[in-house]
């Protein structure tokens, strides 16, 4: 039998994982890993990234063209960027300044949305007959809770382990892709305010668009800055969440899908499921993260609850696309989870409240450090979960154990 191979990338090397003949999902036999140097796209005296990350650059479908209320470009924004006349010291020399990225991330906040008039709150999610499968198809047997302290330790430990990145007067343009405001150096500018005033949420795709405008690019850009990925490197454009709704079996779904794709084949590295905050609420979140056996059949889901529908979809996509890490978000609340190699066990965090505030509010340090908000915050956790999902050795955050 021909060995099964899988290719992953770090910023500096290509890794070919060769699995034994006859290997199947859940097989405890480990692959043999071969590595070879990975050249830059633009050769030259460009520094290599500081920490290893796997490349995710499959060309999946992007969002629809011609969308109204596109996200603002975030050009020359933030309180740290001063007018030229204000940045001169005595003698006419430019003033120098710097600000640590870790401090910025710890105090970011997300702008509050406005619900539109066309939101359709369903008292019962539709019956998705296309998700019904023969008994025993979906093998998820148990859902476990990730201990809050263990998750916090992992996130903060990873953040402390990477060198800090300093935004300075010499590289102020790096702020442009760090879209979220914080309490100190960045604020919503006029373009942001106009965008948010025109923007309203009517459909789940609107939730994704707002995440694409602020939260997602901030997490991915921060990860690339910490990793030291240079502008000309293959990973710079690769670390980006893609729209993958074309692979969803559900038509007119109540949820939306994005993912970090793998560089080869159809595999995914991390799945993101977006649900509408008006249609997936407290009891649904509690049901989704409840530990134990799934409360309803994941196979016969003709009259399933929202959390069961989501578990079925997440299991299907992750199983079919060799994906182990996933995120569920309603914008206001976030859940981080992963599967065991045999897909029989899942583990999830408690749902975490995002630091969401009205755009008109003068957000201060006391707001973003409120005891009702998690520390680290959901943006720091999202950045870490991206890094953990791209770690082929699973050292950053281990998968749950297989069921033997």
Write the pLDDT tens digit of every residue in 192-215. 999 999 999 999 999 999 999 999
Q: Which of 218, 379, 351 is nearest to 287 (CA)?
A: 351
User: What is the sign, positive or negative, of the torsion defined by CA atoms of 232, 238, 241, 243?
Assistant: positive
Burial state string for 121-133 with b = 16 or more CB within 10 A and e = fewer than 16: eeeebeebeebee
Q: Which residues contact 309 (CB under 8 A, 6 or more apart)?
A: 125, 128, 131, 254, 301
Write the pLDDT tens digit of every residue in 313-370. 999 999 999 999 999 999 999 999 999 999 999 999 999 999 999 999 999 999 999 9
In the block, tokens 């025993």 appear at 136
Tell me the pTM.
0.79
Tokens linked to 209: 């668009």
Name the residue ranges covered by the structural domains of the chain: 97-389
Q: What angle do CA 126, 130, 132 make, to 5 degrees?
A: 95
Average pLDDT, whole number, for the chain?
81
Write the pLDDT tens digit of every residue in 162-182. 999 998 877 777 777 799 999
Could you give the CA distance from residue 323 to residue 270 in angstroms, rounded to a whole number? 6
């Amino acid at each position: 039998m021909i060995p099964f191979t899988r290719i992953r990338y770090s910023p500096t090397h290509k890794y070919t994982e060769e699995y034994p003949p006859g290997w199947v999902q859940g097989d405890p036999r480990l692959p043999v890993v071969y590595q070879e140097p990975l050249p830059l796209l633009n050769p030259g005296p460009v520094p290599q990234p500081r920490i290893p990350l796997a490349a995710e650059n499959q060309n999946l479908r992007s969002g629809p063209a011609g969308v109204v209320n596109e996200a603002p470009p975030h050009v020359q924004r933030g309180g740290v960027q001063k007018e030229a006349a204000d940045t001169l010291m005595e003698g006419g020399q430019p003033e120098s300044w710097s600000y640590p990225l870790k401090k910025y991330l710890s105090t970011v906040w997300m702008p509050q949305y406005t619900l539109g008039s066309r939101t359709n709150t369903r008292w019962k999610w539709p019956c998705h007959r296309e998700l019904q499968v023969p008994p025993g198809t979906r093998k998820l047997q148990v859902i476990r809770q990730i201990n809050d302290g263990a998750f916090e330790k992992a996130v903060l430990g990873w953040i402390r382990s990477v060198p800090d990145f300093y935004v300075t007067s010499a590289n102020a343009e790096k702020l442009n892709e760090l879209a979220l405001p914080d309490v100190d150096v960045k604020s919503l500018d006029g373009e942001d305010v106009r965008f948010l005033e025109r923007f309203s949420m009517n459909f789940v795709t609107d939730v994704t668009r707002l995440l694409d405008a602020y939260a997602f690019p901030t997490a991915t850009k921060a990860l690339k800055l910490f990793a030291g990925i240079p502008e000309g490197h293959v990973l710079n454009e690769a670390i980006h969440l893609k729209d993958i709704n074309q692979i969803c079996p559900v038509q007119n779904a109540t949820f939306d899908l994005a993912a970090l794709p793998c560089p080869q084949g159809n595999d995914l590295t991390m799945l993101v499921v977006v649900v509408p905050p008006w249609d997936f609420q407290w009891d649904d979140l509690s049901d989704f993260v409840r530990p134990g056996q799934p409360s309803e059949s994941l196979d016969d889901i003709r009259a399933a609850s929202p959390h069961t529908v989501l578990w079925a979809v997440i299991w299907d996509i992750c199983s079919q696309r060799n994906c182990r890490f996933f995120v569920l978000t309603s914008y206001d609340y976030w859940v981080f989870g992963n599967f065991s190699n045999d897909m029989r066990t899942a583990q999830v965090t408690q749902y975490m409240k995002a630091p969401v505030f009205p755009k008109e509010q003068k957000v201060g340090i006391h707001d973003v450090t409120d005891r009702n908000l998690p520390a680290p915050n959901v943006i720091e956790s999202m950045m870490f979960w991206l890094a953990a999902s791209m770690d082929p050795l699973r050292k950053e955050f281990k998968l749950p154990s297989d069921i033997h």
